């Protein structure tokens, strides 16, 4: 195909020696981060990423399905949202299941950071721009363990680099493959890529042939997504999940300072994230003030347009849709990272800029490590000891009465029960099999005989729910542990710790009043 001219804004001119120096700076900085980022992921056994246990549990279920096929279970090797499971499966072969999850998360953070560095280098931004943009890898998507969503970020940055380039035959195939990788990583990234691509071309000089050439690269993956989505929707509807959009906050309410901190970071508790966000905003203000006379020439239009696209979604989209948490907020940290790449650095001393960016990133890493240390040392101290006392024949119910952590945000204990399924291959109260978008899922959902809200609302437990399990793992205060065991006839297996294991004897609970519930303890 003949090369076609397409208008692009010129990058700043740099000499060969300048480019070599810039490349060296980026290589050194990324190598240092590769080592520093390894510390929290490899040193702490349990990472407070909510969905992490369910993701590694999917590999256990996959291997079980391959060994002992179940006619009601579907393996979606090429379905949207499943690419990350190939990474987990690779690590599963060489390390323990828990470490496989940790290494996968480490690799996702490295890949996202590497993509930021590569894009910043392509834009010929100083290395401090990439360092500051990398702050926003440590965000609520990491905190909630949205593995497949994290994987979509580097592919999106690659799309931003390739899509505006001059059309060539090989580039069409590269973009079409990249579009499928976006869909294979997470369907939402593919959806947003389609939207941004259309918006970007809308503001370019109209060249119908070129525009069609670019947008046609989305068609193969787009057709596949249209075939896949009705199946996902049907499975979730049959599974009893709420699919309708829901707004918890109006757009202007999302701009309240503490909500902005939770949207742009949303990882650890304490003042660190708020202070860092304030300093980043000051950096952007200083950049604007020192370049205000020629700011338009200094801006990079592609990342800027992508940043405002993601900000628009973050402000206007529903908070919850298709059983997807943080449907809107999950885009905000990526938007701010792109804004950092789009803006020129402030015209101040280079040593100060580099020191400022390095100190901010190091501060966040230290604060995160301290939070994860507290989470492991105090809140999950004896958790894996309880898992070791179980076997594959057990049916385990988790009841979490603490719900939140003193160190990290969100609900880090929500899916902890899935560690049991991943490590011991036992049965648990809820699995991502029921979600319909993992690498293994039900063809037709199986309704739960027990209350399916127990993972979110342990206080909704009734005695009838206990008949379907033979072990209960409870996180609660000492006083609640004592009252809970007596009230439901639970037999303690362990006697100390915030996490405790109980045995359920069917004969014991049959002798109790069958109308008993947790609410009785609070009357």
Which pLDDT value is given to residue 16?
67
429: left (phi over 0), alpha (psi -120 to 50) or beta: alpha
Higher-scoring residue by pLDDT: 187, 516: 187
**Tens digit of each residue's pLDDT (9 = 90 or more) over 294-309:** 999 999 999 999 999 9
Per-residue confidence band for 517, with pLDDT thresholds at 50, 70 and 90? confident
Higher-scoring residue by pLDDT: 208, 92: 92
* pLDDT exceeds cutoff 80 at 108: yes
- This prediction's pTM: 0.94
Question: Any idea which of 158-162, 221-225, 301-305, 462-466 has the lowest mean pLDDT?
Answer: 462-466
**Tens digit of each residue's pLDDT (9 = 90 or more) over 381-407:** 999 999 999 999 999 999 999 999 999
Beta strand residue intervals within 255-348, DSSP E: none
Residue 75, phi then psi, degrees to nearest 5: -100, 115
Task: Identify which of 49, 144, 45, 155 has the alpha carbon closest to the alpha carbon of residue 96.
Answer: 45
Per-residue confidence band for 234, with pLDDT thresholds at 50, 70 and 90? confident
Q: In this structure, what token pair is assigned to residue 410?
A: 């969100």
Which pLDDT value is given to residue 508?
79
* pLDDT exceeds cutoff 70 at 2: no
Beta 471-475 vs 395-400: how paired, if at all?
Answer: parallel
Residues facing residue 321 across a β-bridge: 324
Which pLDDT value is given to residue 181?
98
CB 81 within 8 A of CB 54: no
Tell me the mean pLDDT in the region 218-237: 91
Which pLDDT value is given to residue 231?
86
Higher-scoring residue by pLDDT: 286, 9: 286
* pLDDT exceeds cutoff 80 at 1: no
Site of tokens 């010929």 = 124
Per-chain mean pLDDT for the chain: 93
**Tens digit of each residue's pLDDT (9 = 90 or more) over 186-201:** 999 999 999 999 999 9
Rounded to whole angstroms, how far apart are CA atoms 214 and 201?
9
Largest CA distance in the chain: 84
Which pLDDT value is given to residue 10?
47
Higher-scoring residue by pLDDT: 58, 322: 58
Which pLDDT value is given to residue 165?
83
* pLDDT exceeds cutoff 70 at 243: yes
Rounded to whole angstroms, how far apart are CA atoms 140 and 267?
5
Within its chain, how far is the Cα of 512 from the centroid? Answer: 43
Which pLDDT value is given to residue 522?
65
Spell out the residues 6+ positions from residue 408 whose beta carbon is closer than 8 angstroms to its own: 48, 143, 267, 268, 269, 371, 372, 375
Task: Identify which of 193, 160, 82, 48 has the alpha carbon closest to the alpha carbon of residue 432.
Answer: 82
Rounded to whole angstroms, how far apart are CA atoms 147 and 81?
9
Neighbours of 195 (CB within 10 A): 13
């Amino acid at each position: 195909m003949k090369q076609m001219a397409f208008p692009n804004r010129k990058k700043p001119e740099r000499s060969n020696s300048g480019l070599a120096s810039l490349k060296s700076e980026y290589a050194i900085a990324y190598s240092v981060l590769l080592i520093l980022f390894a510390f929290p992921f490899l040193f702490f056994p349990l990472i407070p990423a909510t969905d992490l246990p369910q993701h590694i549990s999917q590999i256990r279920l996959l291997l079980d399905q391959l060994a002992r096929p179940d006619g009601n279970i579907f393996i979606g090797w090429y379905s949207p949202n499943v690419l990350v499971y190939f990474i987990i499966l690779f690590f599963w072969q060489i390390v323990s299941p828990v470490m496989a999850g940790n290494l996968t998360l480490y690799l996702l953070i490295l890949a996202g950071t590497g993509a930021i560095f590569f894009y910043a280098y392509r834009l010929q931004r100083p290395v401090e721009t990439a360092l500051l943009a990398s702050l926003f890898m440590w965000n609520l998507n990491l905190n909630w363990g949205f593995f497949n969503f994290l994987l979509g970020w580097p592919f999106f940055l690659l799309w931003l680099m390739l899509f505006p380039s001059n059309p060539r035959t090989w580039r069409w195939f590269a973009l079409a493959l990249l579009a499928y990788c976006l869909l294979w990583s997470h369907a939402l990234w593919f959806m947003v890529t389609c939207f941004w691509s259309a918006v970007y071309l809308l503001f370019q000089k109209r060249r119908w042939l070129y525009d069609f050439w670019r947008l046609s690269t989305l068609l193969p993956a787009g057709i596949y997504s249209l075939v896949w989505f009705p199946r996902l929707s049907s499975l979730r509807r049959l599974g009893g999940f709420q699919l309708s959009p829901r707004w918890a906050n109006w757009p202007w309410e999302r701009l309240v300072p503490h909500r902005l901190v939770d949207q742009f970071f949303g990882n650890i508790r304490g003042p660190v994230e708020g202070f860092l966000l304030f300093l980043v905003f000051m950096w952007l203000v200083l950049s604007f003030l020192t370049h205000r006379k020629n700011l338009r020439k200094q801006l990079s239009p592609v990342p800027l347009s992508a940043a405002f696209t993601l900000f628009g979604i973050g402000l206007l989209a529903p908070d919850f849709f298709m059983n997807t948490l943080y449907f809107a907020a999950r885009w905000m940290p990526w938007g701010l990272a792109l804004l950092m790449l789009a803006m020129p650095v402030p015209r101040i001393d280079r040593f100060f800029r580099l020191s400022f960016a390095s100190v901010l990133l190091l501060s966040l890493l230290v604060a995160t490590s301290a939070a994860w240390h507290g989470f492991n040392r105090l809140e999950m101290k004896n958790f894996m000891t309880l898992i070791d006392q179980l076997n594959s024949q057990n049916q385990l119910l988790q009841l979490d009465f603490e719900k939140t952590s003193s160190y990290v945000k969100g609900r880090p204990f929500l899916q902890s029960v899935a560690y049991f399924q991943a490590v011991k291959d036992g049965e648990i109260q809820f699995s991502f099999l029921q979600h319909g978008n993992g690498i293994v899922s039900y063809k037709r959902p199986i309704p739960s005989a027990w209350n399916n809200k127990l993972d979110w609302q342990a206080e909704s437990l009734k005695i009838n729910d206990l008949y379907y399990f033979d072990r209960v793992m409870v996180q609660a205060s000492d006083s609640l542990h004592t009252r809970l065991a007596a009230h439901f006839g639970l037999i303690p297996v362990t006697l100390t710790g915030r996490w405790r294991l109980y045995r359920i004897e069917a004969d014991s609970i049959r002798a109790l009043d069958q109308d008993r519930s947790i609410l009785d303890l609070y009357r």
